[in-house]
Structure 1
Amino acid sequence: MLPSPKLPYPSAKLPPPTQIRWSSAAASPSVQRDCKVSRREISTSPLLLLVGSQTVTPLFPDLSKARADQISSDKDTSTSCRDKVPTEKAFLDISIDGEPTGKIVIGLYADEVPAGVARFVTLVTGAAGISYRRKEFVKIMPNYIQHGGIRSYGETGSFENLIGEWERSKEEKCTKNLAGKVGIVVIDPSRPPPKAKLVARNGKLEIDEEEVGVGPNGTEFVITTADSSELDESVLVVGEIVEGMNVVEKMRAVKTVKENTGSPYFRVAKLIGDKRAVVAERGFNRPYSKIIVSNCGLLE
């Protein structure tokens, strides 16, 4: 027989087994006889009731098991996000200040994000008369490199499809912008909200909203060099780097314009929506060297 556990109050006594009654058979807990219970389990488990050599199972649900099941489920979800299989490959030939640097090969997730992949393929092949060829990378951040996209050719295709696909991907609740991913920018988190102003229409004053800065048009893309959860709210992942991460590291090593967000003048201008602050912010982290896509397309 196990020794009786020490009670928190010396005067308290456990009732004898014959005095324990249950309101119904359904509510009666199962009883395990002659179970071996360590002193550590006795002292640390407030849900156990020991009566002589009998151990009564807890009346409360096994919360630890439920939590373990939830963690296992979350792990499975994360694994499924990492195990996406590329269905086709695109390439980007990179040059820095006119010197060839190497080739980046990207595996595209056409089965998971068909609209995003279709947009990217159109731009690397030039199928719509516009292409990433001779276009620059405009930002080098600690966790990613951003391409400037295409602005001078007007319409580049339906943007609503990209937004809808991005919203569906967010519902999966898993980190998408992992190291070595390629994604299309669908929302600019640094863009200030519209600025309200009074305008005269038909002899009446009305409040109108003036857009500050230029929003993304679905042609800018990023290459992540580290896990970048900050991009989950703005980027639709369309593929992964399968070859050429050494080229990406060479791009990342290029010197850039230092940020000046700590300046009180910049903070005030940003707060009041001054367009000059937006222009200055777009210049932060811009590479001093010219990094361009010298050639691009699909691989057979």
Structure 2
Amino acid sequence: MLRIPKFHHPPNKLQHPPTPPPPLHTQNFPTSPNLPFINQCCTISRRKLTVGSNSLLLLLFGSQILDPFYNSSKAEAEESLGENELDPFYNSSKAEAEESLGENEQELQRSESSNDVPPPCTEKSPTKRAFLDISIDGQPAGRIIIGLYGNDAPAGVARFSNLVSGAAGVSYRRKDFVKITSNYVQNSGVRSYGVDVELAKRTGGNELASETLKDEWASVNEKCPGIKNLAGTVGIIVRDPLKPPPKLKLVARKGKLEVDQEEVGTEPNGTEFTISVKDSPELDNSTLVIGTVLEGMQVAERIAQVKTVKDNTTSPYFRVAKLIGDKRAVVAERGFNRPYSKVVVTNCGLLELE
């Protein structure tokens, strides 16, 4: 009996459907909301993006390689640079520029070094010594010793020395301080009228003339820039910077009309002196520095603390009154900064120089 051959087939396994190929990755470029004319995103495949970027790079490199002007311009620049280096005029101008730069640096260093050196007018040495004994409301306040610059201000020192020692016939004894501010104190000096003038005339000199002091003040201002009335300095008032210029008037002389000048106000007589408690640049236009305080600066500071009449020059009423020439404003101005207490020089004289 014929047997039908049996073929062993492998068991049927669970067949899965073939997996589809992975989709191409696409890159979405969102459009800006600010551009209304683009309504949807553009889709670009990776292959197209790669091909486009490679072609762009080839175009860039090719343009540089094939550009004849690029290589020629580079060669021309190198050639011109070499010619400039070989040109004698180029080298000479370069050397001159470097030399001028070095000279400028040297001048700058010299100017800086000169600024560090103090001017010679600040290096003063006293040639004389004087003293002032001060009392406040009858109570002794102390002694002030002053060093006088005889070599730098000979006329001013001679005037002050004669008044301190009494050689001029008058002196600072019993003369009070009439103006006290936060920066300086001012003594009244001797008067240009009355007993002081008569006493000065008995000596045969003209101790109340101040023309020589003005010339000395002008020469000191030319030599010494900056603030002259520093803290601790002593000076005498030789001019009034607020004095108006002289008025012109017609005068009949010998049957002819001539133009003459009429002085307005009076100039200081060169006997009032100041002691600066602080730097006082407001005194530079009127005061000649003649010395400095060697001892007793605390006495001058005590004088500066005395109560005074309030300075009312900033009042609009005072300004208007002075502008229209009201004499009451002039009288009131003289009383500003006057002390309520009596500050007097009880004794004064010269001392030997140590």
Bigger radius of gyration, 1 or 2?
2
Letter in 1 for 2:117: D
Q: Which residue matches 1:121?
A: 161
Aligned in 2, Cα 1:190/1:142: closer, same or farther, shift over 3 Å? farther
C-alpha distance in 2, partners of 1:270/1:71?
48
Deviation of 1:232 after TM superposition, in Å, equals: 1.7
Cα distance per residue 1:273-295 (max 9 Å; x no partner): 44443332222111111111100
Does structure 2 conserve the Cα–Cα contact (< 8 Å) formed by 1:213 and 1:278? Answer: no
C-alpha distance in 2, partners of 1:63/1:274?
60
Aligned in 2, Cα 1:122/1:239: closer, same or farther, shift over 3 Å? same
Aligned in 2, Cα 1:168/1:284: closer, same or farther, shift over 3 Å? same
Structure 1: stretches of 5+ with no match in the other structure: 1-12, 31-55
Q: Which residue matches 2:233?
A: 181
Deviation of 1:132 after TM superposition, in Å, equals: 0.4
Aligned in 2, Cα 1:71/1:233: closer, same or farther, shift over 3 Å? farther
Does structure 2 conserve the Cα–Cα contact (< 8 Å) formed by 1:194 and 1:209? Answer: yes
Deviation of 1:169 after TM superposition, in Å, equals: 0.7
C-alpha distance in 2, partners of 1:253/1:229?
20
Does structure 2 conserve the Cα–Cα contact (< 8 Å) formed by 1:88 and 1:110? Answer: yes
C-alpha distance in 1, partners of 2:237/2:279?
16
Aligned in 2, Cα 1:97/1:83: closer, same or farther, shift over 3 Å? same
The alignment's TM-score, normalised by the length of structure 1, stands at 0.76
C-alpha distance in 2, partners of 1:187/1:249?
25
Q: Which residue matches 2:183?
A: 143
More divergent stretch after superposition (287-296 vs 17-26) = 17-26
More divergent stretch after superposition (164-173 vs 124-133) = 164-173
Matched, 1:239 2:291: yes
Q: Which residue matches 2:270?
A: 218
Q: Which residue matches 1:16?
A: 81
Aligned in 2, Cα 1:272/1:88: closer, same or farther, shift over 3 Å? same
Cα distance per residue 1:183-237 (max 9 Å; x no partner): 1111122334445667777888876655443321110111111112222221111
Deviation of 1:134 after TM superposition, in Å, equals: 0.3
Letter in 2 for 1:170: N
Does structure 2 conserve the Cα–Cα contact (< 8 Å) formed by 1:81 and 1:176? Answer: no
Aligned in 2, Cα 1:193/1:280: closer, same or farther, shift over 3 Å? farther
C-alpha distance in 1, partners of 2:326/2:161?
37
Cα distance per residue 1:66-96 (max 9 Å; x no partner): 3443343244243x33321101100000011
Letter in 2 for 1:259: D
C-alpha distance in 1, partners of 2:136/2:330?
27
C-alpha distance in 2, partners of 1:229/1:68?
30
C-alpha distance in 2, partners of 1:212/1:97?
36
Aligned in 2, Cα 1:202/1:272: closer, same or farther, shift over 3 Å? farther
Q: Which residue matches 2:172?
A: 132
Q: Paired residue for 1:84, among 119, 124, 141?
A: 124
Aligned in 2, Cα 1:86/1:196: closer, same or farther, shift over 3 Å? same
Does structure 2 conserve the Cα–Cα contact (< 8 Å) formed by 1:181 and 1:239? Answer: yes
Deviation of 1:60 after TM superposition, in Å, equals: 4.8
Letter in 2 for 1:254: V
Q: Paired residue for 1:164, among 194, 215, 218?
A: 215
Q: Which residue matches 2:107?
A: 66
Query: How large is the RMSD of aligned CA atoms in angstroms?
Result: 2.9
- Aligned to 1:171, what secondary structure does the other structure show? helix
C-alpha distance in 1, partners of 2:276/2:239?
16
- Aligned to 1:219, what secondary structure does the other structure show? coil
Aligned in 2, Cα 1:76/1:59: closer, same or farther, shift over 3 Å? closer
Q: Which residue matches 1:258?
A: 310
The alignment's TM-score, normalised by the length of structure 2, stands at 0.65
Letter in 1 for 2:224: K
Deviation of 1:109 after TM superposition, in Å, equals: 0.5
**Structure (1 or 2) with the greater strand fraction:** 1
Deviation of 1:111 after TM superposition, in Å, equals: 1.2
Does structure 1 conserve the Cα–Cα contact (< 8 Å) formed by 2:208 and 2:271? Answer: no
- Aligned to 1:101, what secondary structure does the other structure show? strand
Aligned residues: 262
Letter in 1 for 2:111: Q
Deviation of 1:149 after TM superposition, in Å, equals: 1.1
- Aligned to 2:309, what secondary structure does the other structure show? coil
Letter in 2 for 1:264: P
- Aligned to 2:117, what secondary structure does the other structure show? helix
Structure 2: stretches of 5+ with no match in the other structure: 1-76, 198-205
